[in-house]
Structure 1
């Protein structure tokens, strides 16, 4: 059976790749971009770095910087309005996964209108928005090369998964130097997010030979380097490896889909404002233990690719080592429990069933090697405490 593969039309990868943005705009036939970013990128000078590069090539860009972590329909509304009433021919997304996800929605909704609920899965959004150039500044989401965006409907308190060709960036600028100043907490959360993408793509029921190659390559890059960049953010070789690993993991899950960890992660983020990568980290050990019986050889391959199991280890041994590694990684990277994060037990218990319903409705659990029922998801949530 064939597998549909979707990637950005153009990619520039490596040190100082952001200098290629004017060239990329020209290749796409564009000359009037809107930069979508966040306040932190402005404060740190990253936005000025991009506008300086554009100005040197005679390109003027407006800026929308009101995106927020874990984007919502409200936070993107101003950007959608700017696109709707402006004459922009492209969007440049600058930042981590949240600004890039925001920019994807802004590029599509600014052109086609409607509310974010109109675009939610299972609808396949194949209508093209404005051409999007994604410039990631974290090594985690891989959003620069995925056909997904996640936006929270604030009124319903629900993270909406939106899928389709319309959300795939036209171009990606993957410049690891933009990640060197990322603080340890964000480095850890985004790094585990990328690792989760690679693992889930590899064990997904929609995995295919192309996604398998990307996922395994991503794990080989992320496994030996995640601890290094957490403890030594200035290590450029490790930063570059993580950036490439994140990109490859994004390619993998965009073409194979994520699974149960992500399905369960989104409601935790929506209800308790836990950053996406962090909620993935909280869930990954328990969900992996639950899922291994349905895909023992696949998870064992992950353990070998990450580097915690030997090539000649049997599947049982490799999987024990994988679970030990995921737990050890969370300890070393100081991943908190929900209680340590500040969530009250009574508040969590009150919405556990709703979160399980939302997780199932997202469609991601159906890609898991072991497909859970509602009560099994609720039980996995209760293990988080």
Structure 2
């Protein structure tokens, strides 16, 4: 993981002495909260100390779109931007990554997407230097080379080595203002990055080490961060767990759980990604309980079930954490889902991110995906 990463309270001040190319920076953000709480101003001030002028793009959507990538890439070219800063949640940072690539490469971002209607081309030129500053603890994108961008009804992960941030600043103080529900959704996203990476066919001793520690940190502190957002220790633990889960994504991979959810939130964009993962989690993990009992038992122990002896203990630990975070009663129907969409979701998941299904510990058929959605529906 080649990114230079600074972690801790006040870490944003390191920007003043960061080794960045001379010239103007583009701060890419969602706008409302990062501006309201002064984070944009803090980042701009730190960069100004280092001699860098900045301009701001503040129109990133919660599910970042190809249109946003195109707009930011155009600004980079027209304004001769020297580096980009993704400030906010994964949406802002993923947009910054994709825009940094498109500022130096021909064509459209979708030309470089593998899956769906993507062109499957290889990214040839190095991107503009990318600075990642997360204000949420959920995606781990500050520590991996991936992006997730939506194009119509296709929500597909892409990227590669040229999408690693040059510099990441993980300052838990920037996360103190995240409301309880988003804190929970983001924390479960990070949790499942680690858990999926632990059961993926690409898992290794190195990724296992980071995965189990990430699960421990999130299991220990997520409920506290949800219940008391001002708890700095809890915020720091979840932030660190999220970044370590990003290492897991770099070293291993997500699995079919993420492919299914990407199709769900592509169909219903108002669905927060983490909420979708929570909705399908029990049925997804139950499906693999007979296949990888030892791995799920180890995850249960990491989730503070020290006496865990069976994979069902992991399912119970998940249930307990969901209840403690107040997200155990989420309903797919509240976001407009109906059972007659499940075939479309299964097909979309296979067409857009089908590669993740090949990394599941056992085959997951179209019928299996539909059954998981049916078991999760309420």
Which category of TM-score, normalised to the shorter sequence, fits these structures? over 0.9
Distance 1:251 1:372 in 2: 25
Shift of 1:383: 1.7
DSSP-derived class of the 2:104 partner: helix
* Kept in 2: contact 1:218–1:248 (CA 8 A): yes
Distance 2:112 2:287 in 1: 32
Matching residue of 2:274: 277
1:233 matched to 2:196? The reply is no
DSSP-derived class of the 1:135 partner: strand
Offset from partner CA, 1:287-314 (integer Å, 9 cap, x none): 111112221111111111121232xx42
Matching residue of 1:102: 95
Matching residue of 2:306: 309
DSSP-derived class of the 1:93 partner: strand
Distance 1:163 1:377 in 2: 26
Matching residue of 1:267: 263
Shift of 1:126: 6.2
TM superposition outliers: structure 1 runs of 4+ over 6 Å:
none
Shift of 1:340: 5.0
Matching residue of 1:13: 7
Distance 1:227 1:119 in 2: 39
Which of 292, 295, 299 aligns to 1:295? It is 292
Distance 2:250 2:287 in 1: 23
Distance 1:39 1:359 in 2: 30
DSSP-derived class of the 2:237 partner: helix
* Kept in 2: contact 1:202–1:211 (CA 8 A): yes
1:356 matched to 2:350? The reply is no
Which of 42, 53, 58 aligns to 2:35? It is 42
* Kept in 2: contact 1:31–1:89 (CA 8 A): yes
Shift of 1:9: 3.0
The residue correspondences of 1:139-158 to structure 2 (distance < 5 A) are 139-154=137-152, 157-158=153-154
User: TM-score of the superposition, structure 2-length normalised?
Assistant: 0.93
Offset from partner CA, 1:195-214 (integer Å, 9 cap, x none): 00110011110001211111
The residue correspondences of 1:366-385 to structure 2 (distance < 5 A) are 366-385=358-377
DSSP-derived class of the 1:53 partner: helix
**Structure 1 pair 299–106 and aligned structure 2 pair: CA distance change class (3 A):** same
**Structure 1 pair 126–296 and aligned structure 2 pair: CA distance change class (3 A):** farther
DSSP-derived class of the 1:138 partner: coil
Q: Which moved more, 1:366-375 or 1:238-247?
A: 366-375
Shift of 1:30: 4.2
DSSP-derived class of the 2:189 partner: helix
Distance 2:22 2:114 in 1: 30
Unaligned runs of 5+ in 2: none
Matching residue of 2:193: 197
Shift of 1:344: 4.3
Distance 1:110 1:354 in 2: 34
1:22 matched to 2:16? The reply is yes
User: TM-score of the superposition, structure 1-length normalised?
Assistant: 0.91
DSSP-derived class of the 2:290 partner: helix
Unaligned runs of 5+ in 1: 1-6
